Structure 1
Amino acid sequence: MPNIKVGDVTFHLEESGKGDPLILLHGLLGSIESDWKRFIPSFSREYRVIAVDMRGHGLTDNPDGKLSDELFISDFIKLLDVLHLESVLVCGYSLGGFVGLMAGIQHPSRVKALVMHASKIYWDENAVQSMINKMDPDRILIEDPKFAEALKKLHGERWRDLLKEAVSFIENKRSKTLSEEYLKRADFPVLVSVGDRDGLIPLEEAVRFYRSLPKGELLVMPNTGHSIRSVREDVFVPVVLDFFKRTT
């Protein structure tokens, strides 16, 4: 699938398979390549998979240099419009899962069902500061040069700009708390997936979140951290496919 221009942003998409559309959304600082590439062959045997590099990530540009929940959600809905997709399945990792959730709440007819892996819902000062501390490009170059090289490979020369944009994005999480009442508006099937060793999302937090959802289900993956690289494909994919088939 060629790149698609939506407004002033040119999005990079990858499409594979036939059937009902399944949108794959990556995490903050991630891309199709880093987060979903290895899962696409399995998912595309059952669905028309459309993986998206979100604004500012991977091969998608970000002309105005800003990231926000509102922009990500707007981008998602506009992409569906351009692709003539009325209602879709969504599988999102971390940020991608959150975007899918909010899009489904704000635009109920557009999301049939959602899988969220390692998506943080409840932010406190410690979580915000911990994330920000990990996003200093100079510090990354010194303390974790392999990570710096990986970011450069994924995002090109603008990897430093992306880190700055990501810091501002995370800082805004301080003022955004989703109430249990608001989460009840997610009246569509949601599978909340979390690793039992996720350092960002305590297990009790994932349980609290899933219990707040009218049609929530919970998957706890053993020996799995926050990074999607720690997710075992042979465990995750069958559960996701079963969830979508049962609930849609």
Structure 2
Amino acid sequence: MPFATHKGTRLYWRLQGLQGAPVIVLLHGIGADQTLFDAIVPFLIDEYRLLRVDFRGHGASDATAGDYSLDLLVGDVLAVMDAAGVDKATLCGVSLGGMVGMEAGLKAPDRFTGLILACTSPSLTDFWRGRVAAVREAGGMSGIAAAATGAVLSKDYAAAHPGFVDGARYALSHMSLDGYAGCGAAIRDMDVLDRLPGLDLPVLVLAGEQDLATPFTGHGDRIVAAIPGAQSLIMQTGHWACVEAPDQFAQAVREFAG
């Protein structure tokens, strides 16, 4: 298993696809891991190199205690890119992955050819202040697993795929509390909106019409309004659009990345 190390933390990554092809870095949302993108891989792997990363505290990456920051998570991603020999890539991030993507584009624009920001937000302070406190005070993940899983899938998809819902709920209830709360703190404390007009990269904002966590109105639309030239596409999905409509999601990635 390939690992990179940043600030003493091991970070799991996987690089797949066509040798020498353009690279797409795929960043998952909080409470998930790189398998969130399993359904879109078959649509992209013949044309691109796909670099998937488990955020610290998620998947096979190590968990550290305390609050994380978007800056720390960007450092993790850049360390993985260095370890994988990737100088430049298109970044595609879902939810937390999109938040890290915005910070990465501001911090290290020379490492990226463009950003795909899917089902994400420039500000979620109020909700995540309460969520982080609730998780840490409860001392476990089981108390929020059902509600959190319900927020990331549309009702129709959840009803048609009960096995997937059960698996996602089980995985979330058994993940590292430190990892979830740490990344939750990064969301709580993020400060990107006022800096987005200075983001000088091509940007595509993807949104789900049935996204309960970060609906386009009030979240994605603020990103589009703040970044000069940003484009948007709204799909008929919930928050995990790459799971519910992998073919359409992959097509949007392909058209943007070229």
TM-score by length of 1: 0.82
- Is the contact between residue 131 and residue 170 of structure 1 (CA under 8 Å) also seen in structure 2? no
CA–CA distance in structure 2, aligned partners of residues 177 and 243 of structure 1: 23
Find the residue that maps to 1:78 and give its secondary structure.
helix
Find the residue that maps to 2:2 and give its secondary structure.
coil
Q: Give the equivalent residue in structure 2 for 1:59.
A: 60
Find the residue that maps to 1:194 and give its secondary structure.
strand
User: Which residue identity is paired with 1:107?
Assistant: A
One of 144, 149, 152 as aligned partner of 2:170: 149
- The verdict on how the C-alpha distance between 1:86 and 1:166 changes in structure 2, with shifts beyond 3 A counting, is closer
- Is the contact between residue 3 and residue 12 of structure 2 (CA under 8 Å) also seen in structure 1? yes
| Higher RCO (Cα < 8 Å, 6 or more apart) | 2
- 1:98-133 CA distance string (max 9 Å, x none): 1112111111211101111111113352x3356448
CA–CA distance in structure 1, aligned partners of residues 102 and 192 of structure 2: 14
One of 6, 24, 28 as aligned partner of 1:26: 28
CA–CA distance in structure 2, aligned partners of residues 141 and 204 of structure 1: 25
Find the residue that maps to 1:114 and give its secondary structure.
strand
Equivalent pairs: percent with the same residue?
26
Find the residue that maps to 1:184 and give its secondary structure.
helix
Equivalences for residues 70-109 of structure 1 within 5 A: 70-109=71-110
Q: Give the equivalent residue in structure 2 for 1:204.
A: 217
Q: How many correspondences in the alignment?
A: 234
- The verdict on how the C-alpha distance between 1:91 and 1:67 changes in structure 2, with shifts beyond 3 A counting, is same
Q: Give the equivalent residue in structure 1 for 2:154.
A: none
Report how far residue 197 of structure 1 moved: 1.6
TM-score by length of 2: 0.79
- The verdict on how the C-alpha distance between 1:134 and 1:40 changes in structure 2, with shifts beyond 3 A counting, is farther
Report how far residue 81 of structure 1 moved: 2.5
- Structure 2: runs of 5+ lacking an equivalent: 150-164
Query: Is 1:12 paired with 2:25?
Result: no
User: Which residue identity is paired with 2:12?
Assistant: H
Q: Give the equivalent residue in structure 1 for 2:185.
A: 168
- Is the contact between residue 56 and residue 65 of structure 1 (CA under 8 Å) also seen in structure 2? no
Q: Give the equivalent residue in structure 2 for 1:226.
A: 239
